Amino acid sequence: MQVLQPILEELRESAQSSAVQTPPDRGDLKRTIQCPKCHRRMDTHFYAGPGNVIVDTCDVCELLWLDRGELTRIARAPDESEGEDSLRF
């Protein structure tokens, strides 16, 4: 989890522009994923920043699990400072 912010900053610098994204499927909040490290059930929730992404985290291992394309969706999401059109969950 500690390396996420530097990666996002690098991706945002190279991104052409923000992208309007479709909302995630709220049914994904019911999914259950086991942590690949400790095998406990991961917490499934909306990403705390922009991105319209549902992520899975393990607080014990400090692990963030992203499905295919989710890192890009987070990086290309509108920034809150860009105005009222920004998306946030």
pLDDT value at position 69? 85
- Give the global pTM: 0.65
Report residues of the chain scoring pLDDT below 70. 1, 15-21, 49-51, 78-89
Are 71 and 77 a contacting pair, CB within 8 Å? no
CA dihedral 89, 48, 11, 23 (to 10 degrees): -30
**CA-CA distance, 25 to 44, in Å (whole number)?**
12
Tokens (6 digits) for 10: 């690098």
**CA-CA distance, 58 to 38, in Å (whole number)?**
9
CB atoms within 10 A of CB 2: 7
Sorted by where each begins, the domain ranges of the chain are 4-82
